[in-house]
């Protein structure tokens, strides 16, 4: 997640009455105390993966730096373990060059895998995405980026595992984007120059960015303001999800907390591709060296990943129904 207007927004919030922050109400499930038994994924595996990917060994995963390359190898190792195929040319890596915020040319690498759907060759394509890059290392230390966005990467890997066992209707591309923190560069490049294998078939983006904290017990589905047809999909999942799933953060009334263009779903939105972005509200550790694994409540993360998977299943059904 990149929030370039964050500081200005905080100042604004401090000297004005709170904006209307009430999203259309979705039914909130009762969250009970105790250990939540994950229904759709391996919570032990996911927690271990989150700890590993956000450990100091990955040095904050900054685009172009050794820790980022190490993260690429780690993600590809997981994809190979799950037995999921590369999208193109027998190589998971799709390299690109792009200017960053400051106009400096950077080299990035998206990691792309595919699971073929049951509908066959001309099936719609759903891109499920999460960025793996983060801010690297600074004077304060290592920006581990557990929530931003090791959490989305791990949730996406669990989504891969789920659909390997439960074949989807549509073709699913799993995109681990690079250089999100450099201005959504990886996703912008992907949408600008779509891989031949999916050209003309791009139907949907489900983007995951910051899905582990839910300090208020809530995760947001962003996008229904732009695509109101998706409201029943989100509300349908919200009725049975193990974590409160709310709509919002996607219209001008949210002010600087309108997240419509703040993560990798933005290039899809600009290209007219329907999307849902799942993410939690800002927390005190956002873009700080304190965004670390010990801040994550394992039960909340398990509930969140299950909720992500329920949305992913619902998106697959929605896109299949739309194509009929
Ligand atoms: Zn970020």
Q: What's the CA-to-centroid distance between 175 and ligand 1, angstroms?
A: 17
Q: What's the CA-to-centroid distance between 2 and ligand 1, angstroms?
A: 5
Q: What's the CA-to-centroid distance between 149 and ligand 1, angstroms?
A: 7
Average pLDDT over residues 181-190: 93
DSSP conformation letters of 85-130: EESBTTBSEEEEEEE-TTS-EEEEEEEEEEE--TT-TT--EEEEEE
Q: What's the CA-to-centroid distance between 174 and ligand 1, angstroms?
A: 19
- Note the pLDDT of residue 21: 38
Q: What's the CA-to-centroid distance between 182 and ligand 1, angstroms?
A: 9
Q: What's the CA-to-centroid distance between 117 and ligand 1, angstroms?
A: 31
Residue 151 has pLDDT above 70, yes or no: yes
Whether the Cβ atoms of residue 201 and residue 124 lie closer than 8 Å to each other: yes
Q: What's the CA-to-centroid distance between 209 and ligand 1, angstroms?
A: 8
Q: What's the CA-to-centroid distance between 134 and ligand 1, angstroms?
A: 6
CA separation (Å) from 139 to 61, 84, 95, 162, 289? Answer: 16, 39, 29, 40, 10
Q: What's the CA-to-centroid distance between 169 and ligand 1, angstroms?
A: 32
DSSP conformation letters of 236-293: HHHTT-SSEEEE-S-SGGGGGG--TTSSTTHHHHHTT--EEEEEPPP-TTTTSTT--G
Q: What's the CA-to-centroid distance between 288 and ligand 1, angstroms?
A: 10
Q: How far apart are CA 298 and CA 295, in angstroms?
A: 9
Query: What pLDDT digit, counting tens, does each position of 50-97 carry?
Result: 999 999 999 999 999 999 999 999 999 999 999 999 998 889 999 999
Q: What's the CA-to-centroid distance between 260 and ligand 1, angstroms?
A: 14
Q: Which residue has the higher pLDDT, 271 or 105?
A: 271
- Note the pLDDT of residue 89: 81
- Note the pLDDT of residue 3: 65
pLDDT band at 9 (very low <50, low <70, confident <90, very high): very low
Q: What's the CA-to-centroid distance between 181 and ligand 1, angstroms?
A: 6
- Note the pLDDT of residue 34: 58
Residue 106 has pLDDT above 90, yes or no: no
Q: What's the CA-to-centroid distance between 166 and ligand 1, angstroms?
A: 31
Whether the Cβ atoms of residue 110 and residue 175 lie closer than 8 Å to each other: yes
Model pTM? Answer: 0.90
Q: Which residue has the higher pLDDT, 6 or 177?
A: 177
Query: What pLDDT digit, counting tens, does each position of 252-263 carry?
Result: 999 999 999 999
- Note the pLDDT of residue 285: 96
Exposed/middle/buried for residue 191 (C-beta within 10 Å: 0-12, 13-18, 19+): buried
SS3 content of the chain, % helix, strand, coil (to 5): 40, 20, 40
Query: What pLDDT digit, counting tens, does each position of 217-254 carry?
Result: 999 999 999 999 999 999 999 999 999 999 999 999 99
Average pLDDT over residues 193-222: 95
Average pLDDT over residues 37-41: 95
Average pLDDT over residues 264-274: 97
- Which domains does the chain show, CATH number per domain? 46-323 (3.40.630.10)
Residue 302 has pLDDT above 90, yes or no: yes
- Note the pLDDT of residue 103: 82
Q: What's the CA-to-centroid distance between 145 and ligand 1, angstroms?
A: 8
Q: What's the CA-to-centroid distance between 291 and ligand 1, angstroms?
A: 10
Residue 7 has pLDDT above 70, yes or no: no
Average pLDDT over residues 163-180: 97
Q: What's the CA-to-centroid distance between 210 and ligand 1, angstroms?
A: 8
Average pLDDT over residues 142-162: 98
Average pLDDT, the chain: 90
- Note the pLDDT of residue 1: 75
Residue 11 has pLDDT above 60, yes or no: no
Q: What's the CA-to-centroid distance between 262 and ligand 1, angstroms?
A: 9
- Note the pLDDT of residue 2: 74
Q: What's the CA-to-centroid distance between 321 and ligand 1, angstroms?
A: 34
Q: What's the CA-to-centroid distance between 274 and ligand 1, angstroms?
A: 22
């Amino acid at each position: 997640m990149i929030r370039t207007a964050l500081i200005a927004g905080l100042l604004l919030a401090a000297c004005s009455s709170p904006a209307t922050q009430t999203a259309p109400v979705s039914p909130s499930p009762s969250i009970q105390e105790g250990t939540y038994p994950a229904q759709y994924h391996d919570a032990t595996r996911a927690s271990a993966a989150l700890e590993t990917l956000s450990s100091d060994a990955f040095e904050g995963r900054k685009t172009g730096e050794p820790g980022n390359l190490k993260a690429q190898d780690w993600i590809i190792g997981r994809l190979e373990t799950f037995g999921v195929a590369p999208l193109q040319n027998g190589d998971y890596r799709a390299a690109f060059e792009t200017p960053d915020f400051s106009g400096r040319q950077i080299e990035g690498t998206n990691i792309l895998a595919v699971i073929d759907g049951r509908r066959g060759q001309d099936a719609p394509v759903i891109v499920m995405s999460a960025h793996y890059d983060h801010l690297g290392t600074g004077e304060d230390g290592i920006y581990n980026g557990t929530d931003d966005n090791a959490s989305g990467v791990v949730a996406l890997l669990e989504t891969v595992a789920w659909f390997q066992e439960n074949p989807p209707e549509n073709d699913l591309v799993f995109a681990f984007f690079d250089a999100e923190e450099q201005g959504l560069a990886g996703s912008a490049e992907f949408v600008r120059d779509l891989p031949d294998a999916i050209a003309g078939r791009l139907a949907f983006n489900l983007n995951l960015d910051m899905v582990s904290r839910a300090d208020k017990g809530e995760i947001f589905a962003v996008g229904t303001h732009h695509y109101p047809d998706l409201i029943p999909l989100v509300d349908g999942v919200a009725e049975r999800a193990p974590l409160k799933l709310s709509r919002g953060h996607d219209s001008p009334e949210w002010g600087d907390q309108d997240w419509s263009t703040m993560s990798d779903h933005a290039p899809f939105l600009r290209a007219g591709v329907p999307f849902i972005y799942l993410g939690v509200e800002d927390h005190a550790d956002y873009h700080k060296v304190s965004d670390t694994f010990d801040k994550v409540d394992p039960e909340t993360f398990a509930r969140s990943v299950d909720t992500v998977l329920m949305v992913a299943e619902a998106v697959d059904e929605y896109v299949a129904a739309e194509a009929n």
